[in-house]
Amino acid sequence: MFIFGDSLIDNGNNNNLPSFAKANYFPYGIDFEGGPTGRFSNGYTMVDEIAEQLGLPLTPAYSEASGEEVLHGVNFASAAAGILDITGRNFVGRIPFNQQIRNFENTLDQITDNLGADNVAEAIAKCIFFVGMGSNDYLNNYLMPNYATRNQYNGQQFANLLIQQYNRQLNTLYNLGARRFVLAGLGIMGCIPSILAQSPTSRCSDDVNHLILPFNANVRAMVNRLNSNLPGAKFIYIDVYRMFQDILSNSRNYGFSVINRGCCGIGRNSGQITCLPFQTPCSNREQYVFWDAFHPTEAVNIIMGRKAFNGDKSAVYPMNIEQLANLDLEPNEQKP
């Protein structure tokens, strides 16, 4: 499995960057076997759970992967990264999606040296390409006062701009040999503690939730288009928004008692300042939906990873990751 994305699935690629978007300090990783790694969670991320379900070892970060390790896949995700290169510059160092793809090309060269060109195309076509992008293009671009984006585009226009670029980027991965794509939509970003903290009544922001709907609709439409247009490839869409809505609406059924503040953070909803180094987090972490001001707990990540892996059409469209992994794809005559 090869992974591209942002802090929801980053596992350490920002650790050595000059960046404010880092999580390689305690209490991040408090429930992870290796302690803090750079994962923005108390434990597993969603892709950790998916790797486990696929029977793979946890995917190493690009910044640390070497030699044989890369043969089971690499995680290129970077906190604060976006579809657009300018996204996340408030955090200084980050690896935008375009650069993540260039890093994949480097990894591909390494694998080719190992396996030889013919075998690589065949092997890469069997791999899962998980892409979770777009959150920061809103949170750390469109919704930021120091970006001009909101004055230049309305919500639909911005979603269209993102999809044009996203479509190009996914085509690049296809041309490099990727065939099995998992695209994660955006979650209910108007309900994260950081946004709740901006409301005097601690309510979800309908404005933010409505703002991202055109993006999710565009990604889903793009999945249909790419499935029709790219021979030998299969794209699936994970409806993270719907999954998260279900968890928030039926929190008790899932075992959660706290849905409106972070387990680790400062100020209103523990969301005004995110989890700081050596801050003491909540002790009943399995009852919290949110770990910090922006990110879910391991408990939520595991639920979402399992739904993505073997869930029904309410969670994944047109099939789940297990079905995608076992799908017989027509070999594409035109070798990448």
Tell me the per-residue pLDDT of 61-118, one tens digit each, with 9 for 90 and over. 999 998 889 999 999 999 999 999 999 999 999 999 999 999 999 999 999 988 888 8
**How far apart (Å, rounded) are the C-alpha atoms in residues 236 and 119?**
25
Pick the catalytic residue from 118, 210, 292, 328.
292
Catalytic residue among 6, 7, 135, 137: 7
The one catalytic residue in 6, 78, 246, 295 is 295
Q: What's the pTM value of the predicted model, to 2 decimals?
A: 0.97
Q: Each residue of 141-198: pLDDT tens digit?
A: 999 999 999 999 999 999 999 999 999 999 999 999 999 999 999 999 999 999 999 9
Residue 210 known to be catalytic: no
Answer yes or no: are the C-beta atoms of 208 and 155 closer than 8 Å.
no
| 298 CB-side CA count, 13 A | 16
Q: Does the annotation mark 292 as catalytic?
A: yes
What's at 69, amino acid-wise? E
Task: Find where tokens 């928030």 sit.
Answer: 248
Catalytic residue check, 295:
yes
Structural domains in the chain, CATH included, are 2-190+205-260+295-326 (3.40.50)
